[in-house]
Amino acid sequence: MQNTNPIKTASITIPAGGGAGNPGSIQSNIGGQLFACYSATAPFRMQFDSGGVFDCIAGAVIPAGSFNGLTFYNESANPIIVVFAVGVLGISFIPTNTFKAAPTYTKGTDGALAAGATLTFSGLDGINNRKQITVQNCDAGGNTLVVQDGNANAMALITAGSPPWTLETTGVVKVKNPNGTGLSRVIVGETFFS
């Protein structure tokens, strides 16, 4: 008996790339008319057959006419896991509750930052990518901390006693004590994909 299911699902890991112009890539020979990205550990690029390459993220649903295969590209230094579905037009497809959520685990850091010091969080735990990071300023002296990206650009100022700051990212995050004197206590929680 032939499989008549109009929806095909798959999970792939796009290998790490060497930066722009030298991406990691993987091909899939699943064809259809509609692509739906259920989850992805980071943004990625893709193309239908030999068409144009475009950016894609988790939650994207793309009607694409008819295609015979997909190519996924990764310019980042970390592998990207993508769970997706391919279907045909004219059917209803809602990916909610179709897949089990990717398993995760958490790690915490309770640190003291000297004046001018910075803590760096790479986004990796071994080979596992981070999903989310939370930073809480617990400084009793009222010092403000600066959250920075991997290039030391400020993303947030966290005052003592303010609610935790949270971001979903696999990238580098830094926490800096820009104050001229004293120690500042910071608690950082990270959630990683297993």
CATH fold group of domain 8-87: Jelly Rolls (2.60.120)
pLDDT, tens digit, for every residue of 51-91? 888 888 888 888 877 899 999 999 888 899 998 988 876 65
Q: Which CATH superfamily is domain 104-193 in?
A: Mitogen Ypm (2.60.120.510)
Burial of 118 (0-12, 13-18, 19+ CB in 10 A): middle
Contact 106, 162 (CB under 8 A): no
Where does CATH 2.60.120.510 sit in the chain? 104-193
Residue whose pair of structure tokens reads 């685990």 in the numeric block: 105
pLDDT, tens digit, for every residue of 126-179? 888 888 999 999 887 788 899 998 888 888 888 888 888 888 888 899 999 998
Give pTM, 2 decimals: 0.50
